[in-house]
Amino acid sequence: SLGLLDQLAALHQLPAATRPLLETAAWLHDVGHAVHYAKHHRHSQYLILHSDIPGLTDRERLLASLVARFHRRSPPERTHLELEPLSPAEFTAVRRLSTLLRVADSLDRSHQQPVKQVVATSRGNVVQLRVRPHPRRDLELEFWDAAHEIELFGKVFDKTLAVVKG
């Protein structure tokens, strides 16, 4: 997730202060599995929001919990009750960060860490993610899951996402 954040800085145009939000959400987005597999994204949100996370203010913890909340299932839309109270800048950050987390998470859908390297490039209207697998690892599940994030990525960044093996 952080690699994508860095490589796509010109695309997302978020301030450096949002990096800890994505870092927290990336590390803890699946912590909700400890409560229950179903709706783990909601449990992750709750656990992050109600935990003491050194280095984050209460507001930053709220934003990180929302990034984790929207890493699966429903997309982060302005009409969602949990997102309505956010300022325009906060909403934009949560929407963009959760979309990047969704893409990164899809590239480890098997939870076997099959990806060795991702190189992101942006040319014109296309953002290409060139994904190199670890030797003897199959990326079929990851590519299938990443395909489900293409539409949201297009809505959020107004770019076409292409995920290719290489």
Q: pLDDT per position in the chain (166 positions), as tens?
A: 668 888 999 899 999 999 999 988 888 777 776 777 777 777 788 888 999 999 999 999 999 999 989 988 889 999 999 999 999 999 999 999 999 999 999 998 888 899 999 999 999 999 999 999 998 889 999 999 999 999 999 999 999 999 999 8
Question: What's the pLDDT at 82?
Answer: 93
How far is Cα 139 from Cα 24, in angstroms, rounded to an integer? 26
- Identify the helix (H) or strand (E) that includes residue 117: strand 115-123
What is the predicted pLDDT for the residue at 152? 96
The model's pTM is 0.91
Crossing angle of helices 40-49 and 58-69, rounded to 10°: 170
